[in-house]
Amino acid sequence: PGRYGVGEVEIQDGPLWTDCAQLLYKPPVATGAWIEIPFEVAASEPRRLVLRLTSSYDFGIYDISLDGIVLRKDLDLYAPTTAVNDVPLLDFYPEPGTHTVRLVCQGRNPLSTGCWLGLDSLRLRERRPRVAQYGWDKDKDWRTERILY
């Protein structure tokens, strides 16, 4: 992982996750709990930013940002049974270079026993070929006009 706040980070093995493992962040409390995931972009092409996150009985509520811009607030990752879900965040043309997704714990669901976070993967999914062909939304600045179709 990149950097993180209070708590520990480990690789958790299991059949639910891509390549049978996830990044498990285990903060003891919500205060000071955050994790950053850096990623590289080679070319400015139309992409959809998606996080595959785990929901479980001991997981917290998180805000998600990209390069300091909040994309999702108060994502509750509590669930009575463990599951992995795609969380689509943004359709955009990312600039080449290093970018950072930051997840900041805002607390926990009253039914949750913790503030943990499980990250299966960060994905930059290709959009349909015609999006690039027609340059759809290429002129829009995702920092001021966030789009998710």
Residue 107 near residue 61, CB atoms below 8 Å: yes
Beta-carbon contacts of 34 under 8 Å, excluding residues fewer than 6 positions away, are 4, 5, 102, 103, 104, 105
Query: Nearest Cα to 101, choosing from 41, 31, 17?
Result: 41
Beta-carbon contacts of 114 under 8 Å, excluding residues fewer than 6 positions away, are 26, 58, 59, 60, 108
Per-residue pLDDT of the chain (149 residues; tens, 9 = 90+): 689 999 999 999 999 999 999 999 999 999 999 999 999 999 999 999 999 999 999 999 999 999 999 999 999 999 999 999 999 999 999 999 999 999 999 999 999 999 999 999 999 999 887 777 778 788 889 999 888 88
**Residue 13 Cα distances to 20, 22, 120, angstroms:** 6, 7, 11
**Residue 89 Cα distances to 35, 121, 134, angstroms:** 17, 13, 22
SS3 129: helix
